[in-house]
Amino acid sequence: MAERAQKREEISNEEIARILDEIGDMLDIIGESTFRVRAYHKAASSIRGLTKSVLEVYKEGGVKALETIPGVGSHTAQRIEQLITTGRLPYYDELKQKVPAPLTELMNIPGLGPKKAKKIYDALGIMTIEGLTKALEEHQLEKIPGFGHKTEENILRGIRQFQKMHERILLSDAYPVAREIVELLRQQPFVERANTAGSLRRMKETIGDIDLLSSSNEPSRVMDFFISIPQVAYVLAKGETKSSIVAKNGLQIDLRVVSPEQYGAALQYFTGSKPHNIHLRDIARKRGLKINEYGVFDVATDKRLVGRTEEEVYGILGMDTPRPAIREDKGEIEAAMERRLPRLIELEDIKGDFHVHTKWSDGINDIEDVVQMAINLGYKFIVISDHAEKLYVAGGLTPEEMEEQLQLIAMLNQKYDGIEILSGMETNIDNEGNVDFGPEVLGKLDVVLASIHGGFRQSKDQLTRRMIKAIENPYINIIGHPTGRILGQRPPYEIDLRAVFKAAAGTGTFLELNAYPNRLDLKDDHLREAKEEYGCKFAIDTDAHVVGHMVYMEYGVATAQRGWLTTEDVLNTYEVLEIKKMLRQKR
Ligand code: DGT
Ligand code: CA
Ligand code: CA
Ligand code: ZN
């Protein structure tokens, strides 16, 4: 039975951000200026990156304090105030009268966008993906002026993409709330141990569902507690040892409770992956053992041998315990048996970030905010890498602006001890493989990144040649987000990655592991292949546009672990002097 939460909840940053984003989308549909549309999306993105609750900010300093949130102007601040104080926003409601709600979903289909979505709605009254699919099957869309057979095909492909990508949730949407609940459980005297399990514990880039595990001698108290925590929006099912809730962020979360003797076996089992478990069961069988979520048993006597900790479970099978991130049955079991598991990179090994945007281009914060955040994160260096001028939609820097920025960076390096601010730039690889500036400009920078931001539809050959040309440019140190994919929105562009890996390794060019949670680009399997087959080296970068995003480094490191990377493979783990030397080597 579902029990609805009784009291009206205090509004969260995520809810505010979602409403602002939706306003942006709706303004886009009704044809408002891109300036206003982007203002709302920018404010939403900034609020998502805040480490403090907007509600608190407001309680402390009213509407004036809201205006100090980067990206939030006086107009938006007033809207947020209304939302906080009344729980409603008439402006938002009015817009919803003008724009049918599902249309905002339609415009998210790749290849559609606000203009086409609106046209389809106006001509055929279609608002849902279902309706759209049906209309496509009946070739209704061809009747709309400007829509041809090709458009239909594109939209159909877009729908398939959209549906496939929306089945799973981003790790970053699941992880914070799961961790919060695990912490809460651990604080309870009647809970012995608690942890995440499943793909979430393995830190996969997307998550099917959220599995949590705990151990206790008083399971009913754990279940009672779980369904009453503040994160609960409503309870789906409550059992004696397993309950499911829907959290306020809309995600389903399952918690199991087992006895302390079973905890290790259960954690091992529910962490998976399934192929890893199947392989493990095979190994157990060959040793006359049986392994399941309750423990490891002697088949002959049916006696339970171990199960309290994961280490015991792996130990009795004659193995070291592989990190959850690599439990995919891709060689970790063999390595664990032969006691040659690599020492994977850890968040603590990271000494800085190579890719951060500021107000100077399309970021939200001042350079100094970024420096402060880097200090808070315990970094030894930080690279300021705004866009360069050819990406004018992102407010890229001219050489003159770059000079100005270099002076400011020099000044800040005087001001701050214990951290080095490196000058960088994210240049744009154009359709021919050229980047914004030549040696006279790029030569002044400590680090130069180069990324593809457009022309994704070139042929595989063209795209590959284009990127390799950038890799061969002696001033380019790091290739940004090498496949261009955006999880849930855009597939990777077609490129010959093997050729790219080979060129990168051959020239001393680092490949980015973009840690932004909807990119994670390069992804786990590519990292491993690039390292093992080609000897590539990597830079883990957050690509933060708000300082709050700089904490996404954690997802980058988790992905690096999934790619079996060690500190040696990752530029961020070296001393600053060393890094500078390595970067200069290419020139
Ligand atoms: P997901 O949720 O799709 O992102 O992926 P997982 O890995 O979290 O999978 P899930 O939630 O279906 O199951 C959690 C873990 O339970 C899984 O990683 C391994 C274990 N498990 C599930 N089904 C089986 C099974 O049929 N055999 C074995 N050996 N283990 C299983
Ligand atoms: Ca799962
Ligand atoms: Ca599950
Ligand atoms: Zn960037």
pLDDT at 542: 98
The number of the ligand nearest the C-alpha atom of 519 reads 4
Question: Which residue's CA lies nearest to atom 14 of ligand 1?
Answer: 198
Question: Which residue's CA lies nearest to atom 8 of ligand 1?
Answer: 198
Spacing, Cα 194 to ligand 1 middle (Å): 18
Q: Which residues are registered as beta bridge partners of 242? A: 256
Spacing, Cα 580 to ligand 3 middle (Å): 46
Name the more confident of 115 and 219.
219
Highest average pLDDT, of 62-76, 225-239, 463-477, comes from 463-477
Contact between residue 269 and residue 263 where contact means Cβ atoms under 8 Å apart = no
- Average pLDDT over all residues of the chain: 91
pLDDT at 164: 61
CA distance 485 to 477: 21
Q: Given ligand 1 and candidates 210, 274, 280, 333, which is best to mutate, with the most ligand atoms within 8 Å of its CB?
A: 274
CATH classification for the domain delimited by 169-259, as one of 2.70.98.10, 3.30.1340.10, 3.40.50.11890, 3.30.460.10? 3.30.460.10
* pLDDT at 7 exceeding the cut of 60: no
* pLDDT at 231 exceeding the cut of 70: yes
CA distance 544 to 46: 11
Spacing, Cα 356 to ligand 4 middle (Å): 7
Name the more confident of 19 and 168.
19
CATH class of segment(s) 264-337: alpha beta
| Residue range 379-396: mean pLDDT, rounded | 90
Spacing, Cα 175 to ligand 1 middle (Å): 17
pLDDT band, very low/low/confident/very high, at 165 (cuts 50, 70, 90)? low
Interval 93-111: pLDDT, tens? 888 888 776 677 777 777 7
| Residue range 439-459: mean pLDDT, rounded | 95
| Residue range 264-281: mean pLDDT, rounded | 96
Which residue intervals of the chain bear CATH 3.30.460.10?
A: 169-259
Contact between residue 23 and residue 95 where contact means Cβ atoms under 8 Å apart = yes
pLDDT at 2: 33
Which residue intervals of the chain bear CATH 3.20.20.140?
A: 347-586
| Residue range 226-234: mean pLDDT, rounded | 92
* pLDDT at 29 exceeding the cut of 90: no
For the record, the structure tokens of 150 come out as 């090709």
| Residue range 379-393: mean pLDDT, rounded | 91
Which residue intervals of the chain bear CATH 3.30.210.10?
A: 264-337
How many Cα atoms within 13 Å fall on the side-chain side of residue 88?
5
CATH architecture of 2-99: Orthogonal Bundle (1.10)
Highest average pLDDT, of 5-19, 140-154, 221-235, 366-380, comes from 366-380
Least confident of 50-59, 396-405, 446-455, 537-546: 50-59
| Residue range 450-472: mean pLDDT, rounded | 95
Other CB atoms within a 10 A radius of the CB of residue 302 amount to 8
pLDDT at 101: 64
CATH classification for the domain delimited by 347-586, as one of 3.40.190.10, 3.30.420.40, 3.20.20.140, 3.40.470.10? 3.20.20.140
Question: Which residue's CA lies nearest to atom 10 of ligand 1?
Answer: 198
Cβ partners under 8 Å of residue 492, min gap 6: 483, 484, 485, 521
Q: Does domain 102-165 have CATH number 3.40.190.10?
A: no
Spacing, Cα 39 to ligand 1 middle (Å): 42
Which residue intervals of the chain bear CATH 1.10.150.110?
A: 2-99
* pLDDT at 18 exceeding the cut of 90: no
* pLDDT at 258 exceeding the cut of 60: yes
Name the more confident of 356 and 13.
356
The number of the ligand nearest the C-alpha atom of 167 reads 1
**Pocket of ligand 1, beta carbon within 6 A:** 198-199, 204, 207-209, 211, 269-270, 272-274, 277-278
Q: What are the helix and strand counts (H, E) for the chain?
A: 24, 18
Interval 205-229: pLDDT, tens? 999 889 999 999 999 999 999 999 9
Name the more confident of 4 and 341.
341
Name the more confident of 129 and 307.
307
Question: Which residue's CA lies nearest to atom 31 of ligand 1?
Answer: 274
Contact between residue 489 and residue 520 where contact means Cβ atoms under 8 Å apart = no
This prediction has a pTM of 0.77
Question: Which residue's CA lies nearest to atom 15 of ligand 1?
Answer: 270
Q: Given ligand 1 and candidates 167, 168, 199, which is best to mutate, with the most ligand atoms within 8 Å of its CB?
A: 199
Strands (E), 420-520: 420-428, 447-451, 478-479, 510-514
pLDDT at 8: 41
Amino acid residing at 248: K
Q: Which atom of ligand 1 is nearest to the CA of 206?
A: 4
How many Cα atoms within 13 Å fall on the side-chain side of residue 37?
11
pLDDT at 569: 98
Q: Which atom of ligand 1 is nearest to the CA of 198?
A: 8
